[in-house]
Structure 1
Amino acid sequence: MGALRVAALELPLIVAGQASESATLAVDQEPPRDIPANASFLATVRNRADIRFPGGTLFLVAAPQRGPIMGETGGSLSTAPDESVDLLITQAQSIVGRDLPPALARACEAGLLALLSVAREREDKGAVDGDPLFRDILADIAANCRQQDYGVAQVAQRYKLNVRTLQKMFQKHGTTIREHITAARLKYAGAALLDPANAGKKVSDIAFEAGFNDIATFNRLFRRTFGRAPSAFRTEANQAAAGVARAEQADIDDIA
């Protein structure tokens, strides 16, 4: 019987995978669960995950979870059918072992991380569907986080809750309201940096538009979330897009 342990170090891991034969997966303190053969799964690993499989192949895609995590403090595992997870596995399998040019490799990486993010957002949605008030507060954060004076006190006032009650609500879901406000601002900033319409804007301008009032804090949080400085993030994305465009044009020229 094969066995594999996946350990989360500084940050929790989001792990997607598929085994060619039935397997069992234990995430953090949860009991082991059966994974059917050729079924995709998605798990949030805060400490460790133990996978046991009788044979065949096991394919995993893992990335650090840099934003807030929904759900209780224990691990989470989903084996529900999800086309975003299936597509993620298929795309990852198609590039394993290939020697890709740097720009194309970065584009592929960005695509895989985007699919993983979509799958993770669906899992988050399932965690909050049974709590309409919490869902409304998350929507309020997404809509208003760009206001620099927006914070815990403003949310509590909007929903007529005391701050402690609001904090407990987020703790129940394994996170904090400050983390969500910051994550929403970073998500906006990341998208704005990739938008060609903002090509002439300074990084600092985008940071202030996203709701940050201190550029040093923004740079530090952005690097922690995206793994690189905002300026490098923008540059690498533009280079990757240009590389894909050149590859597509080369394919067209070859056909012609």
Structure 2
Amino acid sequence: MPVPNPAFRFSTTALSPAERLPAWYEVFSRSTSRRYCAPLDETCHTDVRIWTLGPADACTVRVQRVTLSHSIETHRPRELLSDGSDDLVLNIQEAGDTCVSQCGMQATAAAGGAILTSNADVSTIAFRGPVRFTSIALPRRVMMALAPRAEDAIVKPAGSDSAVLHLLISYLAVAEEQSATQSPDLARAVAAHIHDLCALAIGASRDAAEIARGRGLRQARLRMLKEDIASNLTLGPVTAAALAQRHRMTPRYVHKLFEGEGVSLSQFVRAQRLARVHRNLTDPRHAGRAIGELAFDAGYGDLSTFNHDFRRCYGMTPSALRAAARRDER
């Protein structure tokens, strides 16, 4: 099953004022919720990213991230309900305020909070700019299984667990970047993790919350830690203390996340360092660099330890691997 094309990007920067509103309607035809937009002020600019995560089926998650320079008001009238979407949409406010009117209720989400809306009902959403927000369209059937009272949470601010919202935003950024290379199985797992995190933010049932914390929350945090280690392997500290500080958790919890996969943090970091050296030793672009230099660049501080680890992992010396790679090039 193919993974959906993840990326659609839009910006008004290069458009004239007359072109912006028609273009904005095109954006809303692709977005998490088809809507009409009130006329835009000629000085109003927006930048939008829309992507999909997960397999191309009923479990797909659609995400949009929007930055607006000015206030705008949007409407989902009855005529647009014919598109058949009954998704629940979690709108996470990163800057500015958003006011939602739906089902006879009204509520405002401030920065750091979130608000749930329904595509099955008429609504008005006023974005009080400048604003930045992320909207996540979630299959109603899936979310009702995880959070049976989700419909009761519509148009009620959901900012009680800001740590979950912060993690969700970070996890979405990583998932978007890697979505093009995900296998169908991994894409399905990522979508399930997002469902779990959103259920926790909305208010999952007790049993579902336990599952979500053990499945979605743990895996999302572990994936974020692994991404951090890959990014900072040669740039900064990747100790439990440093990771814990960057991700707002305790060092002990960092260790427990890795131990849950049957590997220690130090083993994972060492494997990443060795893999980096292995790639560089077999890359012709690094043929002129000394093996010690490659080891130090990967974060090793002692050559004897590096050589011991390398032979134990790959069953040969670094120089033997480089020699074999050169023979294969001929």
- TM (normalized to structure 1)? 0.44
* Greater relative contact order, per chain length (Cα 8 Å cut-off, separation 6+): 1
- TM (normalized to structure 2)? 0.34
